[in-house]
Structures are given as structure tokens and as C-alpha cells.
Structure 1
Amino acid sequence: MESVGYILESLALAIIFVYLILASQFGSFLQPLAIMLSLPLSIIGVLVALMLTGDTFNILSMIGVIMLMGLVTKNAILLVDFTNKAREQGATRRQALIDAGEIRFRPIMMTTFAMIFGMLPTALALGEGGEFRAPMARAVIGGLITSTMLTLIVVPVVYTYLDDFGSRVLARVTAGKRARVKEKVPETAGPAIPEGVPAD
């Protein structure tokens, strides 16, 4: 149980560090949330793969989940980064997301299949001690399959909602600052007219 606790602590620290790094690179606290959504999507595949193979969620499976954190976020990073660059060049958000999915689809699938086929010998428990390491590879393969399929659909949708939310928050903050500035600046009064002097 103590080793499981260490694994969970490592997982939590890894999530925090990944978020902070993404936030610093993208200059946003919201966009990393869309990227890191691929992590829970991969957990679905991990559980399904372990259930189909009859494995338990043990320490090696948890190590596989930690490995997935860097693997599955890569696909979402490719989509979000391409979208941001396309918008900087004048593309609309909708068109940028569509282009990101079309252009980045092949590299995402190539790297995913390369990782899956690389893990197959371990997942099939080939070689000495293979049965011991198999749950880790099976967890990685299951997580990669589901996260890759769902990331291409879910991440653009979440990106859109978070972008709208950020725009609304920014608009409210800007409006509040303008209102406070207007309250601080007194209205300019016209020149005082002495008593007894008729106004023009």
C-alpha cells in the first residue's frame, strides 16, 4: 500500500508540473485544461484494456498511466498549437480547428501506431518476465487508443468553450476597469461666471 501511495503522489505531481509547463508555454491558464482533458480520456481505455485482458489495476498499470501522461498530451498539444498559430495568421477559430484536425491527423496517427506496435511485444508477454510487465504495456495501449480517437473530437469542442469563457471573462474585467477609471476622473467643469455678469 505504501508503494501505491508513492505512485499516486508521483501521478499528482506529474499532473501539476505538466499543467504549469503548458500554462507557461501557451501563456494561458485555460488552454492547458483542454490539453489535459486527454488524460481522463486515456483512463477509459486503460480500464477497458485491463478488463478485457483480465489484469488488475496494480503498480505496473499505474506506471503505465504515468507514461501515458506525456504520450496522450502530445496529440492535444499538436492540435492546440496549430490552432493558435493559424488564428494568429488570421484564420477564424472554426477554420483553424478544422485545419488542425485535417493536417495533424496523419502525424498523430503515425506516432500513436508506432507507440502501440512498439508496446505489443511487452503486452503479449513475449520473452522472459514478460507476463510481469504486460499490464503496463496493455494499459498504455488501451489508453493510447481511446485518447487518440476521443482527443480529435473532444479537445476542439472543449477548446471552443474555454475560448468563449475566456473572452467573456476578459470583457467583464475590461468593462470593470473602464468603469473604475471613469469614477476616478472628475468631470471637467466650465469656467465660473461671476455674479451680476449676464451669460452669453
Structure 2
Amino acid sequence: MGAAVVLVFLVLSVTFNGIVTPLVILSSLIFVPVGALGGLFVSGEPLSISAMIGMLMLIGIVVTNAVVLLDRVETNRKNEMPLIDAIVEAAKHRVRPILMTAFATIFALIPLSLTPETSSLLISKGLAVTVIGGLLTSTLLTLIFVPVFYSIVGKRKKHIKEEI
């Protein structure tokens, strides 16, 4: 998982031509273990290899949600839009696609998470529960935390540029 985060960071750094926006994007990953482990706890599932694979999947899914949001913010900023206006406009236009993809994934995994104990798919139940729990917390909190964090970092970044 650590290697996955490093590789994602490298790709994002090249894509966004810097490290500030990729760090803000990766900050959304702090909510993954909360929801994933919480889902496992609530469902009574043990932490297994399939659950760990689910957490690995979540890294990609959660980062994609944050990229969808902040790519629009960065585009707005390049078009000379003020920081707060850029964030509000991006949030208005990107909340629907982010929620649609997250809920589509969650609803697709619900049957797998409800697998009976006697099924041969039981090993995948931990993966489904992990992804569902991680997506619920990280998607909802990403829509709140990432824009707020970006606005704080964006204001600081502006002050640093003015001092130079």
C-alpha cells in the first residue's frame, strides 16, 4: 500500500506540475482506514488478505474522486477565478459525478457483502465490506475536507508567491 501511495504521488506530481495539489489529494486517504476498519468491525469480518486488497483498491478510487474535484479547481484557477469561487464552482459541478461513481460501486458490492457464511464467495466478503466502508467515509469527508484543506493551502501558496 505504501508503494501504491508513492507511485500515485509521483504520477500526480508530474500531472499537476508540483507537489502541493498532489499532497492535498493524498490527504483524502486518511479517511480510508477509518471507514474500512469500521466496516470490518461493524460486520464482524476479520482483517484478511481480501480486506487488504480492498484497501489497496480504495487508494485508487479515493484518489480519483479527489482528482476529479481538484482538477476542476485548478482549471478554474488558471482561468483567473478567485480561490473560493473556483472551489465552490468545482464542488457544484463535480459533486454529482463523485457521488454517482461512489454509490454505484457501493451498490454493486452490497450483494457480495451480504454473502452467506456457506458460500464459496465468503473470502470476498471482507473485500466488499472494506470497500463499502472506506468509500462511505472517504467520499463524504473528501467532499468536505479536501476543498477546505485546498483553500487553506491555496491561500498560503498565494502568499508565498507574493513574497517571492
Instruction: Answer whether TM exceeds 0.5 for this pair.
Output: yes
Partner of 1:143: 134
Deviates more, 1:17-26 or 1:155-164: 155-164
Contact 1:41–1:143 (8 Å) recurs in 2: yes
Larger radius of gyration: 1
Partner of 1:23: 13
Q: Which has the higher contact order (CA 8 A, sep 6+)?
A: 2
- Determine helix, strand or coil for the equivalent of 1:37: helix
1:53 and 1:73 map into 2 onto residues whose CA distance is 25
Q: 1:55 aligns with which of 23, 38, 45?
A: 45
The residue type paired with residue 67 of structure 2 is: I
Q: 1:166 aligns with which of 154, 157, 160?
A: 157
Contact 1:60–1:136 (8 Å) recurs in 2: yes
1:62 and 1:32 map into 2 onto residues whose CA distance is 23
Shift of 1:135: 0.5
Q: Which runs of 5+ in 2 are unaligned?
A: none
Pick the structure with more helix per residue: 2
Shift of 1:72: 0.8
Shift of 1:171: 4.2
1:40 and 1:59 map into 2 onto residues whose CA distance is 20
Partner of 2:144: 153
Q: Deviations over 1:67-94 (max 9, x none)?
A: 0011011111011100111122221110
What RMSD over aligned residues (CA atoms) do the two structures have, in Å? 1.5
Q: Deviations over 1:33-85 (max 9, x none)?
A: 11111111121111111111011222211111000011011111011100111
Q: Which runs of 5+ in 1 are unaligned?
A: 1-10, 175-200
The residue type paired with residue 49 of structure 1 is: G
Q: Percent identity over the alignment?
A: 36
Contact 2:83–2:154 (8 Å) recurs in 1: no
Partner of 1:88: 78
Partner of 2:23: 33
Partner of 1:111: 101
Change in 2 beyond 3 A, CA 1:12/1:146? same
1:98 and 1:70 map into 2 onto residues whose CA distance is 24
Contact 1:75–1:108 (8 Å) recurs in 2: yes
Count of aligned residue pairs for this structure pair? 163
Note if 1:42 corresponds to 2:18.
no
Q: Deviations over 1:109-133 (max 9, x none)?
A: 1111111111112111168422211
Q: Deviations over 1:142-171 (max 9, x none)?
A: 000111100010001111222233334444
Partner of 1:77: 67
Contact 1:124–1:130 (8 Å) recurs in 2: no
